[in-house]
Amino acid sequence: MNYIHKTILAGACLAGASLCVEAAPRAASMANENYLIAEQDLSGWSAGLYMRDRERDVRKDNGATSTFDETRVVGYIGYRLFSWVTVYVHGGQSDGELNGVSGDGPAIGGTAEFNLMSQLIKDPGLEEDRIRVHSTVSYTSSEAETGFTTLDYSEVEADLTISLINELDGNKLFLPQAIGLTAGGLFSSLQGDLEEDGDTVGYSIGLDLLWTEHVTIHAGVESLDNTGAFAGIHLAF
């Protein structure tokens, strides 16, 4: 290929590259109406991730008793129906161990949360402290694969907790806006291929870190038949 042909080919490539660049201009826009899916008002919506590890005495449908160790990890989406009532749908995975045989299966369900009371403590030495009372009622349907057997069971849970909320002073880049200590009663009942063979009533103690107005981190321990643990992160839009 001679010099003229090479020059023509190089020019054609550069022209093509130029056309490709010019064929895809992109100008950022701050205007919400310039987008196919515009910004929506998500106030009232929330989402989060929740983990719970619980060991309890159970009875299988054939009457045999055993200890069931379950770790449940679920994600959830919630919507505030009223100022004090929020409903959630949740779904994830349940890992269980029964008679030394472990397996996993899906876990799906729903929850209703009720914020029952919030009261400011009028004491100058306590800064901005509040006592709050709330309750939840939850239903979850789960499966557990144990060897060649699939166990289908459901759980109904309810709790009533009291929280002491203390607002913190200081740099909010390093400190949460508030810390909450929670304690309360817990009820849990199993139905299906697994039923409880121990206590259905217990208690829980936890810690809430209200990191910002929209982000809360919580963790704690509970006691039903045995001591368990739970943790989660909650995002309010």
Average pLDDT over residues 57-71: 84
Please list, in sequence order, all residues whose beta carbon lies within 8 angstroms of the beta carbon of residue 37, skipping any fewer than 6 positions away: none
Average pLDDT over residues 25-43: 74
The DSSP bridge partners found for residue 148 are none
Indicate if the pLDDT at residue 19 is higher than 60: no
pLDDT in tens, 67-94: 889 999 999 999 999 999 999 999 999 9
Pairing of strands 129-146, 65-82: unpaired
pLDDT for residue 145: 75
pLDDT in tens, 172-210: 666 788 899 999 999 999 999 888 888 899 999 999 999
On average, the pLDDT of the chain sits at 84
Question: pTM of this prediction?
Answer: 0.79
The DSSP bridge partners found for residue 204 are 184, 222
Domains of the chain (ranges, CATH numbers): 44-236 (2.40.160)
> Which stretch of 179-183, 224-228, 230-234 has the lowest confidence by average pLDDT?
224-228
